[in-house]
Each structure stands twice: as C-alpha cells, then as structure tokens.
Amino acid sequence: MKNLLHICRFEWKNLWRNNTLIILLLVFFGAGIYGIYFGKFEIQKQEDRMATVQEYERQQFDSLLTWVSLDTSIKANQINFRRAVSPTGEGRSKHFTYYVLHHTPPLAGLCLGQRDLFPVYYGLNVTDLARQMNIGELANPMKLLTGNFDLSYVIIFLLPLLIVALFYDLYAKEKEGGTLTLLQSQSVKLSTVLMGKGLLRLLIVLGSATGLLLLGFLLQGISLGQNAGIFFQSLGLIYTYCLFWTAVMAGIIALRKSSATSAIYGLGIWLLLTMISPALLNLFVSAKTPLPNRTDSVHELRTLSGKVWGSPRSFVYDQFYPKYPEYDKGDSINFNQWYYASFTLFDDKANSLNQEYESQVAKRNQLLKKWQWLAPAAMVHENFSSISKTDRESHIRFVKRIHEFHDDLKNTYYPKIFDDENFNKTELMELQAKLEE
Amino acid sequence: MLRLIIKKEIQSALRDTRIQFAGTFLILLMLVSVLVGRQGQKQIQKERAEAQATMYDKWVNQGAKHPHSAAHYGQFAFKPKPVLSFLDLGLDNYTGVSVFLEAHKQNEVLYSAAQEGNGMTRFGELTAALVLQVLLPLLIIFLTFNIFSREREEGTLKLIHGQGISMRKLLMGKVWGTYALVLLIFIPVICLAYFLLDQASAGFDPHVGVKFMGLLASYSLYLLIFVLLSVIISAFSKSSSFSLLSLLGLWIAACIILPKATTNLADKVYPTPSQYEFRKTIAEKVENGIDGHNPSDARLADLKKQVLDEYNVSKTEDLPVNWRGIAMQAGEEYTDQVYDHEFSKVENIFKKQNRVSEWAGFINPYLAIRNLSMAFSGTDFHHHVAFVKAAENYRRAFVKKMNKDMEVNDKPGTEDYRVDKEMWESIESFSYEAPDIGKIISVQWRSVTALVFWLVALFTLASIYAPKISRL
C-alpha cells in the first residue's frame, strides 16, 4: 500500500513535469466549458421562446378580462364582449389559445438529449387536439444532424479519448524509454508499479470528470442542494463509463504492444464503440423495421370530417351521445354543438390510431434497446438524457400532460357549449387558473 | 523512377498485417452499409410510392362532391427516398417525410425519423459516407504517419538522397503510392453500389448517373487532399510519434470537434425564429396585409367592387359566376404571398447558417466533402427545400383548379353543385423530380472551390518545400 502511494506520488511528479498532461487537461476542460456554455445558450433560447408565448398568453387573457366587463349597450363593444364570453369564440376565431409548456428540467442544459427535436410548447384551444399537435418547431435540419456540443457530448466522446491518451503508453513508455529493466530490477513488482501508475491516471480521470460536472452545475447555476439526487446519479453513470474505458485500456496494456500500436488499438476501439457500432445498429434496425406511415391518421380524420359534415345530426346521435351521455340534450341541436361534438370524435379516432403507431415505434425502439449493449456510448447517452429528462420518453410524458390538459379544458367548455351558455366573469377568472405559472 | 517508388510504397503497405486488417475491415464496413442500406432505401421508397399511390387512389375515388369540399379533403405528397441516400443519409432522418395538402393552409412536412427513434438515432446510420469521410482518413494517417520519418530514423532517407533522387519525386511517389491503395479500397465498393441501385427509385432522378460521378469525383479529391496533407506532415516531422500525434490531433479537430462547433456558431450568428413567431407573423399579415395597411375585409371589399364593376351588376347574386369561388381564390393567393414572404425569410436564415459551414470548408476540408456528398446524394437542405416547394406548387395548382371550377360552374341559382371522378382524375398524381446537377453545383460551388483550393495549395506547398525534406 505504501509502495503504491509512493509510486502514485512519483508518477504524478513525472506527469506534471511533462507538458502532455497539462495540454490534455486544458483541451478537455476547454471543450467541457464550451459545452457547458453552449448547452446553457440552447436552453436559454428555449426558455426565451417559452417566456414569449407565456407573456402573449397573459396579455390575451387580460384582454378577455377587460372585454367581459364592457358595456354591451354600446354596439362597438359587442364583438369583443362575445369574444370574451362565448365558449365557441366569435366568428372564425376560437375562444382562447392556451399554451402548455414543457418546462426545462434542471439538467437539460448539460445534456440536451432529444429536446431539440420537439416543440417545447404547444398552443391549444378546445377544438380537436389531433390537428393542433401536428406541428413542429422551426429548426435547421443541418443543426439537428450535426448535434449539440453539450457537456454530455464531451463526456461521451472526448472523455474516452482522454483516457486513451493517458493510458496508452503506461507500459510501453518504460520499455521504449529504457527504464523498464531498471524497474524490473527493483524489489517492487512490475505489476505494482503499473497498477500504481494506472491508479493515478484513473484518479486524474475521475477527478476531471467530477470537476467538469461540478463546473457544469456551477456555471449553469443549477442548485446542487436541490438536485443532489440527479447529481450523484449522473456522477455514478460517468464513473461507470470511465471505469469501462479504463478496463478497455488495461486490456490493451496487457498485450504489451509498442506505444504507437497501443494508441492505435485504443483509438480503434474508441471508433468502434462510439461511432461504428451505434451506426451499424441503426442501419440494421432501420432496414429491418421501417417506421410506420403516420399519414393514415390524417386520412382517417379527413374521411371522418367529411362524413360528419355530410350528416352532422346522425353522427351526434349515433356516436357522440351514446359515448358521452352527459352532454345529451335530446332533440335540440345547434351548429356549435355538433361541430364541437365532432372534435371529440376526431380525437377518439386519432388517439386509437396514435396508440397503434406508438406501439409500433415502441417495438422498434425496444429492438434498439435490446442490442444497445453493443454501443455503450449510445447507451450512456440514452441514460444521461433519461436522468436529465431530455429523452424521447420525457417528450411523450409531456404529450400525455397535454392530453390531460385538453381533457380538462373540454370538461370546462363542453357543458357550457351543450347548455348553450356563456362564461361569466367569475368563470373566466377560474379559467385564468389554467394558465401556467 | 517515380513508378518504382509508387510500387515500393504499395508493396510495403500491403505486407503490413495491420494495414491488411484495417483495410479489409473498412471494405467490409462499406460493403455492409451498401448492401443493408440499399435494401432499406429500396424498402422505404417502395412504401412511400405505395402510400402515394394509395392516397391518390383515395382522392380519385372520393365520390361526388362540391369542388371546395374536395379541396378540403386534400391530397398528400410523399418525399421520394433519394436513390443515392444509402451512400449518404445526410439530413434524411431529420427532415419530414410527407405533407398533407389542403385548401387555405400550408402544412408542414412532418414525421421525421429522428423524432420516432430514441437517443440512439442521433448517432447516425452507417453509410459509405461515414467510412469515406471519417474512417478512411484515419487509415490514411496510419499509412503515412511514418512514411518519411521511418526512412529518416532508419537512415534510408540519406541513402535515397545520395542516389540523386529528387525529394520532390520521392514525395510524389509516396503520395501516389498511398493514394493508389486508398482508391483500391474505396472505388470497387462504390462502383458496386452503383450497379446495385434500385431501378424503381432511380426513375425519380434522371440525373443519377451524373450525380454519382460527382460523388465519386468529390471523394477522390477529398481523399487525395488527405493523403497529401498526411504525407507532407510526415515529411516535415522529426519523429514518427510527433507526426502521428499531430495528424491524430488534426483528424479529431477536423472530423469530430469542428463540425459541431461550426454549426453551433452559425446558429448563434443567425438565430432561428420560433415557430410561434413565424405563425403569428403569417396570421397577422394575412389579417392586416403584408404592409400592415391593407386589412383583409378592405381587400375583399375592393375585390368585390372590381368584380361587380367588371360584370356591370350591383349584387353578387346577379353575377354570372360564383363570387365565393373568386373570393376564395383571391384569399388563397394572398395567403400564398404572405407565406412565400415569411418562408423565404426562414429559408434564407437556414441558408446563411449553412453557408458558414460551406465557407469553413476552406479551413476544414471535411466540411466541404460533407456538404458535397449530401448534395450529390440528394439529401442536403436544398433538396429538401426543392421537395417542399414542389409539393406546395402542386397544392396551389389543384386548389386553384377547384376554386376556378366553383367560380365558373357553381353559378348563382345552381343547387347542390357536385363534380365527380372525371374532375379528380384530371389532376395528376404528385410527382417530384430532384434538382439536376447544374442546380447542385450552382448552390454548392463554395464547397467545390474549397476542395480545389486545398488541392492546389497542398500541391504547391509540396513542390516548394520538397527539396528541404533531406535537410531536416
């Protein structure tokens, strides 16, 4: 044990005097800090967008609250008053567009994951959700393809390179520098020396990784106290990844090849595990299970829409009332009632189709998951995004929340529409509670 | 003499088992990517073509109805999977696949593959492009990093010099020798890919032969640049380890770090507007006029007066044509104008962003080949925009036809006007032809120039400094 410490201390001096370590750490931390900064920048952009829509939403709602108190004996005020109180809106514009936001999880700026592929907010009113969800965020596909230079990228791609660079000549350097025979003549076993050297390097790697993650929290202003759980989860993941790569390098060193050969082996395995194996996996999976054709659902909806418009009454009586008896008003039915009833029918149809697609997509993603051990880098990335809540699952949970929000909206609006009533001021104030904080 | 040097280089490389192994591995990777990728491309294209046909069939057999209802019923446009996309997938997983075309509004091209996959998708699919752009240069580095320094370390450089062989010739011999090996690795598989092209998809792109040649030429240039660069660096490095380290450093910077940093920088310099702002501006401009002083009801009133004057009547009911048809088409055309205006703004922002990486090709040849390869494979941004525009023009044409029919035939007094199959069939199914080679070159000239610039610069550098090699 004492020997080991001694070796570590000596090796540290050795490494420190050599510029390579300093250069490597400078590059690694430089890239890391850039990644932290860039992640913050991306997240800030999303937050700004959400803040803009939220402010717009508040302004709009304030107008509703002003309009509801207007003096309707003045003719000019009547339109705005109806805009405020009618649950079906006035003319072609619907009553109110609520914005549901996908709030930024604390770690999103460190691992942007899949968050840049989906909108982080949706604007919705009480009409059918299906068509209001058919919207994407404006994004340059080139940027999506290139991906984000965030902290997770530095950890997944560059950290292994640091490990390769630190470990590759662990043994070969002694041999090539002529110090190997000297070492072998010592009373300490060669394996202990190598162990000590390796241990020190591992400590440097783990220390740098911890430092970088801490820097990430610090520079992005993420509270460590409130997020201690996910901090340690991420740290655990990163440590496992480091240990994995150290083991790979230990295997290479055990072959006792020259430094150039060891470096090439290290780099080769890095290429294989971070780039080639995920790409091969994706190639096979996408050739084997092509993605479902989602246009069918649009087609079903337009057909349904055509039928509803063709004979609105029969649709309401035969399909809507039996399913939703609480809205059954008997024989009397006006335009808005059947019009809004049709939206519920659309959504029911769309939801059942969507479930089918999602199950197909899930099957495909299950296949990827089954083989993901072949691509440890992608596996770590997926786990990191899952810890940061920026993976596809998080988006699906957000969509689920939108569905709940929309159902809630219907529970408020539909009774009004089917009782043919307007909102009064108190009810509008209650609606205001639906706006997100 | 040159031939002898080339021969010697090829022989000594072929004898190296590590090179044999790495070369075979790359060839195998490319073979797998070509065979599996082609199968995938064929399958996807088949599905899209079928979907397009099914949807057109549904349009034709939608039954008798009012032309405007049909415009609402709408049509679909599916993006043909580019026939060369299995060589370079480019943006294909990040751009949508299909768009619903209906009256009054321009929908987005939706359902990108990246959105459906989990995080693994972001690591990309294995294509020949990945092998040729990233992996083969690495092999070049291993072939060349000690190509001079070894001779220097073993003392053979002085011997060669003493025999009176010019250093320029020696350098070029090593360049061409290495390059011959590189061509040996990549040309056969790529040519095999061409013979395996899915003929059904090739029909969508009559220029596929020229594009393939463009692809081949670009890669040949890019790899030559890499060979030259590596040999030159090796020639001027004192030791093998120094040249290996600097080459690997350059490779990591060029292929791994810089591409991301460049794209991120571009996004910072030219910020992308949000979907919310985009839609809001469109809605406002449609409502208040493009200049903000031409509200929609005033536009409608003007049009009404103009039409009434033209037919010399006082009410729309007395018109010999359908007023709603005219009004709707006018509304449609105004919305189109607004949309074109706003969409071209966004498109220009994206183009400016992409231009950053096009210019950066002069600093980093990897970026130049990446852009060119996508362009020739039909998977770059310009190809996507071309599809979006083609689909939109198709939408405008068929909606216009519906409106016109309504204007002329659904005259006041006509009860329950309907048209049927004959009308639906008169609109041909959506078809799209990818941009031709001239168009590609005209938008990608920066990347072409960047590659040529690199080649000329490196050759010049080599021939000026070659005599100094022996003195090092």
Task: Please tell me the distance in Å from A306's CA to the nearest CA on chain B.
Answer: 7
Mutation target to probe the B interface, by most B beta carbons within 10 A, among A280, A283, A300, A370 is A283
Confirm whether pTM is higher than 0.80: yes
Residue B184 has pLDDT above 70, yes or no: yes
Per-residue pLDDT for A414 more than 70?
A: yes
Lowest mean pLDDT among A19-23, B25-29, B252-256: A19-23
The neighbour count for residue A17, using CB atoms within 10 Å, is: 9
| Sequence-distant (≥ 6) Cβ neighbours of residue A414 within 8 angstroms | A126, A327, A340, A344
Cα separation, A385 vs A393, whole angstroms: 10
Between residues B75 and B468, the one the model is more confident about: B75
Inter-helix orientation angle A159-167/A19-68, to 10°: 170
pLDDT in tens, B398-433: 999 998 888 888 887 777 888 888 899 999 999 888
Identify which of A252-261, A269-278, B156-165 has the greatest average pLDDT.
Answer: A269-278
| Contact map slice: A 345-384 vs B, CB within 8 A | 361, 364-365, 368-369, 372, 375, 377-378, 381-382
- CA A346 – CA A129 distance, rounded (Å): 9
- What confidence score (pLDDT) does residue A215 get? 96
A contact residues 137-156, partner B, Cβ 8 Å cutoff: 137-149, 153
Q: Which chain A residue is nearest to residue B251, measuring alpha carbons?
A: A267
Q: With H, G, I as helix, E, B as strand and everything else as coil, classify residue B102.
A: strand
Q: Are B127 and B134 in contact (CB under 8 A)?
A: no
Q: How far apart are CA B40 and CA B349, in angstroms?
A: 33
CB distance A421 to A327 below 8 Å: no
B74: left (phi over 0), alpha (psi -120 to 50) or beta: left
Do residue B263 and residue A372 have CB atoms under 8 angstroms apart? no
CA distance A325 to chain B (A): 30
What are the distances in angstroms from CA A236 to CA A240, A243, A387, B118, B247? 6, 10, 11, 22, 34
- The rounded mean pLDDT for chain B is 89
Other beta carbons less than 10 A from residue B102's beta carbon: 18
Of B18, B118, B267, the CB nearest to A382: B118
| A142 neighbors A422 (Cβ within 8 angstroms) | no
- Specify the pLDDT at position B472: 66
Chain B residues lying within 8 Å of A260, measured CB to CB = 240-241, 244
**Set of chain B residues whose Cβ sits within 8 Å of the Cβ of A24:** none
Cβ A114–B122 below 8 Å, yes or no? yes
Q: Is the pLDDT of residue A225 over 80?
A: yes
> How confident is the model over B25-47, as a mean pLDDT?
92
Phi and psi (nearest 5°) for B77?
-125, 130
Provide the β-strand partners of residue A313. none
More reliable by pLDDT, B176 or A312: B176
pLDDT digits (tens, 9 = 90+) for B302-335: 888 888 888 888 888 888 888 888 888 888 888 8
Q: Which of A280, A293, A306 lies closest to B47 in CB terms?
A: A293
By percentage, how much of chain B surpasses pLDDT 90?
A: 45
- Above pLDDT 70, what percent of chain B? 100
What average pLDDT does this structure show over A176-203? 84
Q: Which of residues 103-142 of A touch B (CB under 8 A)?
A: 113-114, 117-119, 121, 123, 134-142
Quote the Cα angle for A43-A47-A50, to 5°.
140
Q: Are A267 and A164 contacting, i.e. CB atoms less than 8 angstroms apart?
A: yes
Identify the band that residue A437 occupies on the pLDDT scale cut at 50, 70 and 90. low
Q: Using a CB–CB cutoff of 8 Å, tell me whether A169 touches chain B.
A: no
CA distance A316 to chain B (A): 21
Strands (E), A28-132: 98-101, 121-124
Q: Min CA distance, B464 vs chain A (Å)?
A: 31
Q: Which residues of A touch B274 (CB under 8 A)?
A: 49, 52, 137-138
Which of B333, B120, B422, B76 has the alpha carbon at shortest distance from A380? B120
Contact B94 A147 (CB under 8 A): no
Of A252 and A90, which is predicted with more confidence? A252
Token pair for residue B455? 């080649």
- For residue A326, the distance in angstroms to the closest alpha carbon of chain B comes to 31
First and final CA of chain B: distance in angstroms? 23
Q: Which of A276, A281, A287 shows the shortest CA–CA distance to B29?
A: A276
Q: Residue type for B282, please?
A: I
Q: Tens digit of pLDDT for each residue in B355-387?
A: 999 999 999 999 999 999 999 999 999 999 999
Q: Answer yes or no: do B123 and A282 touch at CB < 8 A.
A: yes
Distance from CA of A375 to the nearest CA of B (A): 9
Distance CA B359, CA B381 (A): 16
User: Which one of A278, A293, A306 has the shortest CB-CB distance to B123?
Assistant: A278
Q: What digits encode the pLDDT tens for the residues B276-302?
A: 888 888 888 888 877 777 777 888 888
* CB-CB under 8 Å, A146 with B263: yes
For residue B422, give both structure tokens.
Answer: 């004959």
pLDDT value at residue A232? 96
Q: Quote the tokens at residue B181.
A: 């090996």
Section A331-348 average pLDDT: 84
B381 neighbors B109 (Cβ within 8 angstroms): no
A59-63 contact pairs (CB < 8 A, 24+): A60/A96, A60/A97, A61/A96, A61/A431, A61/A432, A61/A435
What pLDDT digit, counting tens, does each position of B123-143 carry? 888 999 999 999 999 999 988
Portion of chain A with pLDDT greater than 70, in percent: 100
Torsion over CA: B359, B361, B364, B367 (sign): positive
- Nearest CB to A306: which of B73, B130, B384? B73
